[in-house]
Amino acid sequence: MPKYIALKDPYRESRIYSARTVTAVILVLGLLGIVLARYYTLQITEYEIYRTESERNRVQLQPLPPKRGLIYDRNGVLLADNRPSYILSVVRERVDDLDATLTQLQELVPIADGDLEKFHQKLARSRPYEAVPLRFRLTEKERATLAVNRYRLPGVVVEAQLLRHYPHGTLFSHALGYVGRINEREAAQLDASDYRGTFHVGKTGVEKYYEDILHGDVGYQNVETNAHGRVLRVLERHNPAPGADLTLHLDIRVQRAAYAALGEQRGAVVAIDPRSGGVLALVSTPGFDTNLFVNGISAADYSALRDSPDVPLFNRAVQGQYPPGSTIKPMMGMAGLESGLVTPETTVPDPGWYRLPGDSRRYRDWILRIRGTGHAPQVDLNMAIAESCDVYFYDLARRLTIDRMHDYLQPFGLGQRTGVDTTNERPGVLPSTRWKRAAMAQTWYPGETLSAGIGQGYMLATPMQLAMAASVLASRGERHTPRLLQAIDGRPLVAPPLDPLVAAQQNWQAIYAGMHEVVHGKRGTAKQLAQGIQYEMAGKTGTAQVIGIAQNAVYNEDEVAERNRHHGLFIAFAPYAQPTIAVAVIVENGGGSSAASPIARKVIDTWLLGEARSDG
């Protein structure tokens, strides 16, 4: 059978070739069209978008944090300044692998777990291309290590910034307060634009109260960067406005004298200039080093402060609420005189105890334990103040009633916040029938009035309130809101005075005379202060019970645990004729006023005689 040989079909091959050519051309043209369309989109339609993105990669808007205002005492001694410090930060958008970068950084420099936690919190709130701080206060060696490895750490930035520093540390811990790193709650409350590039904010004290004045206004600069984020040049700059410098009424000499006099004792001292209300000293012991808090205190250091039985973080000067004891007797005397219930010559029999009509209970005078009898057969106002006669003031309190006592004592600054320009001030308690009904839903009993008449029972006052009361006495009724701030950027501030406490001059003089006898009288309860004194002082001692004592029981301090012993209190002002300083002192569990009165003497000596002038 013959075999057929297939012949070549040029026509069919031509058609296949043409079809393939057309398909290839269409495919090429389609792809070219896609490229042209994309090119058109990039160059024409979305030009501005990508131009902006390009500029964002090349040109960065960087915040310039303002310099925090400085704080000085009344003599120009620097109390809070700013020191340069190097900060390790990370720009997330320039880091390929954040976890790997953080691991590398931990191998190069020590980074605490707390720093990492705060970094991630800040990272979650940060804006694009914002440098987020990871480590503060880099050492010179750590900076050198990071500089050597910079080529393999894109997005890692080391920059200088001013950080808060407190040269005197513990001495002004409660007066100044401190700044600390902004936490999540504060970040939600602060204006984000005002705090761009700022990592710290005032936490307590003056630093917090005057945060708006100290902070300043943020600036910014446009800078050109390369692909690694390194700044090549500054294109535009708007300088930040620094925070205002503050001058305080505080006197470092007086502050140091008060702190040294308290020593290891738990207590507080507040000194006020009665002419202006300026706070000359505000001390609470024990204190703490405020520098520990600036960049985040370590867990070990914070636990030591938090768990200490002496509670060093507690500002006793404005937060401590104590029974004022006999320190309120001069104010009680004024209430009696002004109400017309007593005169300076009015006398009360004093057997060493007092009994309410129709009540068998005896309310003892403190002198009964010592002498077995009272201060004298008959006691007048001068003796009652000088020797701190409880019986006299039991009788006066009964005649006044608790509500009139409340109304007369309140203008001295008791039972309400003084308004001093610091944080966390407490109001104390100035009891009344209305107060007890509101606080306890109970009626008031006559025996409670007697306790309140000698500053015990429900009555509580802060050292700041007692200093204000002493200031009102010193100025014969002039009242000022206590003020720490004296001037802003050198411009003096004068706080408007409060409504005066109007009283007859002879009544003021009667109270003055009794308080003068406390120190300079032969039987004054603080007569030991007069030894070697170079001026005249008016004062009033006070002792506040910490634990209750049964009616027939005898208080023996040696048998009482140290923290159950009486508090010692003392208020004073000097010079007697024209006072320029009023002081309140409390010594917790000091056993009595003898622990507090020498401290007041040292504070007043320093103010009037110029002792302890060294500012070192």
Task: Please name the residues in contact with 62: beta carbons below 8 A apart, sequence gap of 6 or more.
Answer: 197, 220, 221, 222, 223
**Helices assigned H by DSSP within 204-283:** 205-209, 211-215, 252-262
- Calculate the alpha carbon distances from 146 to 87, 105, 110 in Å: 11, 8, 12
Q: Considering the candidates 173, 276, 326, 432, report the single residue annotated as catalytic.
A: 326
Give which of 275, 261, 182 is closest to 604, Cα–Cα: 261
Tokens encoding 324: 């004022």
Give yes or no for a contact between 544 and 325, defined as CB atoms under 8 angstroms apart.
Answer: yes
The C-alpha atoms of residue 272 and residue 601 are separated, in whole angstroms, by: 14
Rounded Cα–Cα distance for residues 487 and 478 (Å): 22
| CB of 80 closer than 8 Å to CB of 139 | no
Place of tokens 């050109």: 224
Q: At a CB cut-off of 8 Å and minimum separation 6, what does 393 contact?
A: 329, 332, 384, 453, 454
The neighbour count for residue 502, using CB atoms within 10 Å, is: 9
C-alpha atoms less than 13 angstroms from C-alpha of 58 in its C-beta half-sphere: 7
Q: How far apart are CA 349 and CA 336, in angstroms?
A: 17
Q: Which helix (H) or strand (E) holds 451?
A: helix 446-453
Rounded Cα distance, 134 and 131, in Å = 9
Q: What would the DSSP string read from start to end of 275-320?
A: TTTEEEEEEEES---GGGGTT---HHHHHHHHH-TT-TTS-HHHH-
Is position 308 annotated as part of the catalytic site?
no
Q: How far apart are CA 298 and CA 306, in angstroms?
A: 12
Say if CB 487 and CB 247 are below 8 A apart: yes
From 379, 326, 325, 332, select the one nearest 351 (Cα to Cα): 379
Annotated catalytic residues are 326
